[in-house]
Structure formats: C-alpha cells, structure tokens
Amino acid sequence: MSNNSPDQVLSSDSPRLLDRVRARLRLGHYGERTETAYVGWIKRFIVFHGKRHPAGMGKAEVEAFLTHLAVARGVSASTQNQALSALLFLYKEMLGIDLPWLGDVVRAKKSSRLPVVLSRDEAQRLLAELHDPELVLIVGLLYGAGLRLSEVVDLRIKDLDLARRQLVVRDGKGGKDRVGLIPVKLVELLRARVAWCRALHAADLAQGRGQASLPEGAARAFPGAASSFGWQYVFPATGLVVDPRSGAASRGHVDERRVQRAVKAAAARAAIPRPVSPHVLRHSFATHLIEAGYDIRTVQELLGHSDVSTTMIYIHALNSGDRPVHSPLDELDDGSLREPDAPGYAAAIPVRAGAWYPRAWRVRSGAGPSPVRSPP
C-alpha cells in the first residue's frame, strides 16, 4: 500500500483530485469520452460517501456504491462495470494505492441479448421520414456503412475518398483505425457536402476563425492543422465551442443528441414498433450483409471488431444465406392445430384473403370458408 495518507493527498499545495485524475488520463492518452466517464464516476463515488477521500475508504464502500447503482438506480451491467473500472483507475493509477481486494470485486455479468434489427422495409421507411439533408447523410452512413454514431460525427474531410468510395475511421473503439465503405447512393451527396464545408470554412477564415478542434497530440504533430480544410469536420457544429482540453474556442462537430432525437422521432413517424437508436442502424447493416451472403470475416472488418465472436451475434437472423430456414410447423397438415377453447377467440382474429388458418377457424358466422394456402 502507498505511504501517502489521505491528508497528504489532499494537501493544500496539491491540485484538486479530479484535476489530477484528468491530467493522468490525458498522460495515458485515454479518449475524451473515457475521461468524461471516469471523472464522472469518481465524483459520484466520493459524493455518495459524504465527500470522504477515496484513500480513506475500502472494499465495503466500493461494493456499497456498486450495489447502489444496480439496486437503487437500476443501471445496466456494462454501466456498473464502467464505474468499477473508473475506481480501479483511481486507486491503482491515480492514488498509487495497492488494494488487492479491488481486483476481486465481482463484476456484474452482462446479459446476452440479441440486437434490435430493422427490416429493409423499416430502414427505408425511417430514412424517408428524414428531411434535413445533414441528417439524411448521417443516418445514411449509420445504416449504409455500419458506423457508430461517434465515428460518423468525428469524420474529417481528409477521411473521405469519394473516388474510391472509401472512408477512414480514425481512433475508433479501442483506439483503432479502419477503412469503411461509402454507399454509392451517398457519393454525390457527400461531394456536395464537401463543397458546402469548403464555403463555410472560407467564411470562417475571413472572420478570423476557421479552427477545428484536434485530437490529442495532433496540434504538435501537424502544426497549422486546425485551420487547414482537410482537418475540418464533415458535419460541423453550427457555432463555436470551447475545447474541454485545450480551452480554445473552435468549431466542433454536430451534437450527437440531435441525431439521437431525430432517429427516434423518424422511427415513430415510420410506425416502427421497436425502440430505435442510431446504433440499431449499425446492427441492421451487419445483419443485412449476412443475410445477403457476405462472409462473417468481411462483416467483422467493416464493423471493426477485434474478435469474430463479437460479430457472430448477428448470425441470429432467420432465412439468411443460400438456404432459408423453414419452421417444421409449416410442414404439418393444417388439421394439426385446434382452435383454443376460449369463447370468441377465433372470432377476434381477422380473416385475410390468401392466409392460412387452422381448419377450425375457417368457418365463421357470415364469413364463409377462408381460402387455404399450402405451407411452403
């Protein structure tokens, strides 16, 4: 265990704890989203225990906090595990306190759920409900290229290769770069988008602005990059923002929440009954590729998964590949099913022309016999 006492860690001549956490995360080249999440969880942990210093707390306090998240707040297993990872960083990397028990704290077991996937018809209806050209492009890349929302809004002009119909995802999940595809239907729309961005950048430069926020270390590696056109965002924000790391005013990218709200509203207008988020479009991209017969390794590379087992979850789709799956029930004689005993049950089911029903449902008062379609 470290020789530092809580009083020493909180000495008046030391930077505030959370500021030191931010500095250590940046030193380790953690992403901006990771920094925001970790600092947030550490702050909540301290406030939960009456603003006691973490160095004076132990296993009981950590487990009490994680239990509170699961029971009182009902967070998911992945959220609870993120909070635990933040506390692991705090004690081991930040405070330099070796607590053997912390690694033994039981992590919440993630549920194994199938992803929500839209049908092709639902995807088309959702896109038809988007009328803002910028949102059409963003959602088109979510579904047409299988990108994460963060990857779409982080795209820079230099990352687009319209001639080869390719884009480059920089510093994606896990800090990896990868090549993605640009749908043919989006090439000309993106070309027009680039021209619009060029005009916006020229107007910004004329007003003494034109600075884009840069990734960690890019300003030192590429002097002048912030004002060059290639480093501008494909989907810039409408106004200037203050970079949380550098403190400089620059033009960031479009707010992710705007896209999330637009997708949710478009799904509602399209009468899609399932909850739809931008990530559902990525799930749909992967599933539809597999249904079209593309091999799992190709889909893995396009999605940027490190392990093919992550991609295998999309093999949940029925009727995919060259050999569609038929239910054995469809091979039985139609007399095998009987109408339930509940009064009025059959009468509550609408008869559709050409549909197949159990024999007992076919003759109804005043309806006559329903046509029979042979099971496939």
Report how far Cα 57 is from the mean position of its chain's Cα atoms: 34
Q: Among 118, 156, 158, which residue's Cα sits nearest to residue 139? A: 118
Distance CA 44, CA 60 (A): 16
Tell me which of 53, 92, 165, 173 is the catalytic residue. 173
Nearest partner of 9 among 87, 107, 91, 101, judged by Cα: 91
3-state helix, strand, coil in the chain (%, to 5): 50, 5, 45
Active-site entry in 143, 314, 357, 362:
314
| Annotation marks residue 176 as catalytic | no
Q: Is 148 a catalytic residue?
A: yes
**Of 201, 251, 288, 305, which one is the catalytic site residue?**
305
* Selected catalytic residue, list 193, 251, 253, 282: 282
Strand partners, 169: 178
Identify the active-site residue in 148, 193, 251, 283: 148
Catalytic site residue 282? yes
User: Which listed residue (125, 279, 294, 359) is catalytic?
Assistant: 279
Active site residue 91: no
Angle at Cα 302 formed by Cα 298 and Cα 307, nearest 5°? Answer: 75
To which residue do tokens 């030391």 refer?
14
Told to judge if 251 belongs to the known catalytic residues of this protein, a careful annotator would answer no
Q: Quick one: tokens of 144?
A: 């047409």
Q: Helix (H, G, I), strand (E, B), or coil: what is residue 373? A: coil
Tell me whether residue 53 is one of the annotated catalytic residues.
Answer: no
Q: What ranges in 207-343 are assigned the alpha helix state H?
A: 218-221, 256-269, 278-291, 296-303, 308-311
- Quick one: three-class SS letters along 325-344? CCCHHHHCCHHHCCCCCCCC
Residue 255 main-chain phi, psi, to 5 deg? -70, 125
- Report the catalytic residues: 148, 173, 279, 282, 305, 314
